[in-house]
A = this chain, B = another copy of it.
Amino acid sequence: MKRYQVTFFPNKLNIEVPENENILKAAQMAGVYVSASCGGETTCGKCKIVIKEGIVETENTGKLSQEEIDRGYYLACATKIKSDLDVLIPVESRISDREILEKKKELLLYPESLKHLIKDWTLKPIVQKYFLELLAPDLQNNLNDLDRLLLFLEKEHKLKDIEVDFLVVERLSKVFRQDGFKVTVTILYAVKQIKLIYIEPGDTTKEHYSIALDIGTTSVYGQLIDLNKGRVVSQSSDYNAQISCGEDVITRIVYALKGKGAEELQGLVVKTINKIVIELLKDTEIEGDKVSHIVVSGNTTMIHLLLNVDPRYIREAPYVPTFNSLGPLKTLDFNLDINNYAYMYLMPSVASYIGGDITSGILGTGIYDEDKLTLYIDVGTNGEIVLGNKEMLLSASCSAGPAFEGGTIKHGMRATKGAIEEVYIDKTLEPKLVTIGKEKPKGICGTGLINIVAELLEKGVIDQGGKFHQGLGSNRIRKEGNFYEYVLCFAKDSAIDRDIVITEVDIDNLIRAKGAMYAGMSVLVAYIGISFADISRVIIAGNLGENIDIKRAITIGFLPELPLDRFTFVGNGSLLGARLFSLSQEKSKKAYEIASHMINFELSSYNKFMDEYMAALFIPHTNDTRFPEVMKRIKI
């Protein structure tokens, strides 16, 4: 079969592929990130590219306007390669480079800094190193090497019933004799298991590290942790390379079920992780063989895909994952390039749509350990809600849809450079825009969407149903087809040479997204017979959470109306819990308890949810009394 060179611009990344490969796959292989919410199904129309040079064969998907076709646009997933190609990824299809992820890096967190969230914990990592000085054998005591080691561990460290990895057996006789029977052993602790996983000559206890990983549907974050000091020594992140196989977990599952999709998805996320691991180590010049374990936190689908366990039944009712909790697994068995002995712990999940990332957030924020009632919200494509305290933990997930992440919005985009984040509308209805990176506007991110809708409502541009008021007399408001829209930025000022607008359809999408979230919270609150006012603290986690304007979010009825000081941002709760899991045996046990004690509500099968949802399809809500302060503002 013929093979062709494809070069992707502006990054000039090059790849050789067989004839007839589609351009989306080629981009994927070249490591070029292209938006493709549907995972290459030709249905989302997002993976627009421009052919600068070369021959292709394309199918008509009806997803491109005549104007776009005239300008040389193609849909990458529907276009086959027929010669060497130069392909431009236009700005609207680009997933921006990594500056934004970099920006989101947390400050290095020391044990002390964790304490403001978690009441008390002691540094006792889940994998420990012990330095041992054994007696050499002689004819009077020629016990075999392994029993010599195990008896010593029992005598000196009270460690019994240790399982021994074969790797240790293989190395044992040599390592014993390399430094006169002085060795360092690495012992892994799991719930009901102690494993001897590594042995080295001499004393290496001072060099012991772990990696905490948050595998998100969009991004993967990693931290390298010094287990002696209990501190993060380097951080790295990247987009999850699965991103071009679909934007949300559902499209990923669909992708996994086709042909070799599952293997491909596993390969892609493993590639991302391996890249992050290399960067974490490079930054610090720490050797990979000093990393004894990684702790992986992610939603249930991401974890199934990482292990290449069939995710089919996560998506089909009654939504049954294959597993919630597994013991530590050898990283080597999953092609993770750490070293030949390291293990991977998985944060236990609760259900198909309450993953280990949520368990992790609950662990990291100490909610499970307090008298006071906390509401924990993780906002993304999927919204997860946990309500509880040390007595009880309830969870629910709402398929909010991708509106919060800029999806299904006409000019929606991720929260990267050029995204409109905030808007202020003056009396003449002219907007003042704030964009990420202060660049020319490219589109609207999730936070921006909330802020825009709140502003439109407060300034009387739209009504509580999300419809535009008539006759306001501004050229910014216009009708396109059946729906009105508001022009945030005319083509001349935008980075995409087109008007950037927010439409009634966009607003409706947001209302449904926030309605689902608010209804979910209402169901949990009602279930235990309290009102929102009884909640002492609301913790907001997740990507959107970090940038959200609480007041604006209350205005649109996404968050309950509570005093602002009850809201806390936790940033990446998933990574926070994974780190704590690695650093504390006691906390790691707690994680399994949290996951198994959490009571999950399948909202789709819960009648009360539908009532609450219908009631929440209004801004802020059909029941004014729930948002008295907002009502005051919007009535002005």
Q: A322: which B residues are within 8 A, CB to CB? A: 144-146, 169, 172-173
Closest chain-B Cβ to A261's Cβ sits at a distance in Å of: 16
CB pair B602–A172 under 8 Å, yes or no, is: no
Give the residue name and chain of the B residue nearest to A604 (CB): B139
Q: A147: which B residues are within 8 A, CB to CB? A: 323-325
Q: A142: which B residues are within 8 A, CB to CB? A: 318-320, 351-352, 602
A170 within 8 A of B: yes
**Binary B-proximity of A321-347 (CB < 8 A = 1, otherwise 0):** 111111101000100000000000000
Give the residue name and chain of the B residue nearest to A317 (CB): B139
Query: Contacts A144-B322, A145-B322, A323-B147 known; A310 to B139 CB distance under 8 Å?
Result: no
Stretch at the interface among A58-66, A160-168, A362-370, A618-626: A160-168
Q: Give the residue of B137, B174, B309, B324 whose beta carbon is less than 8 angstroms from that of A318.
A: B137
CB pair B172–A318 under 8 Å, yes or no, is: no
CB pair A144–B323 under 8 Å, yes or no, is: yes
Give the complex CA separation of A137 and B322 in angstroms.
12
A143 within 8 A of B: yes
Give the complex CA separation of A494 and B419 in angstroms.
99
Query: Contacts A170-B308, A602-B139 known; A323 to B163 CB distance under 8 Å?
Result: no
Q: A166: which B residues are within 8 A, CB to CB? A: 307, 326, 329, 333
Q: A172: which B residues are within 8 A, CB to CB? A: 309, 322-323
CB pair A320–B169 under 8 Å, yes or no, is: no
CB pair A144–B318 under 8 Å, yes or no, is: no
Q: Give the residue of B139, B144, B145, B192 whose beta carbon is less than 8 angstroms from that of A605.
A: B139
Give the complex CA separation of A310 and B172 in angstroms.
9
Query: Contacts A142-B320, A309-B169 known; A163 to B193 CB distance under 8 Å?
Result: yes
CB pair B146–A318 under 8 Å, yes or no, is: no
Give the residue name and chain of the B residue nearest to A162 (CB): B192
Interface, chain A (partner B; CB < 8 A): 137-140, 142-147, 161, 163-164, 166, 169-170, 172-174, 192-193, 307-310, 312-313, 317-327, 329, 333, 351-352, 602, 604-605
Closest 8 CB pairs of A and B: A146-B323, A142-B318, A139-B605, A139-B318, A144-B321, A173-B322, A144-B324, A137-B320
Q: Can you report 15 A-B residue pairs in the complex whose CB atoms are below 8 A from each other?
A: A137-B318, A139-B605, A144-B320, A144-B322, A145-B320, A146-B322, A146-B323, A147-B323, A147-B324, A163-B327, A164-B326, A166-B307, A166-B326, A166-B333, A170-B307
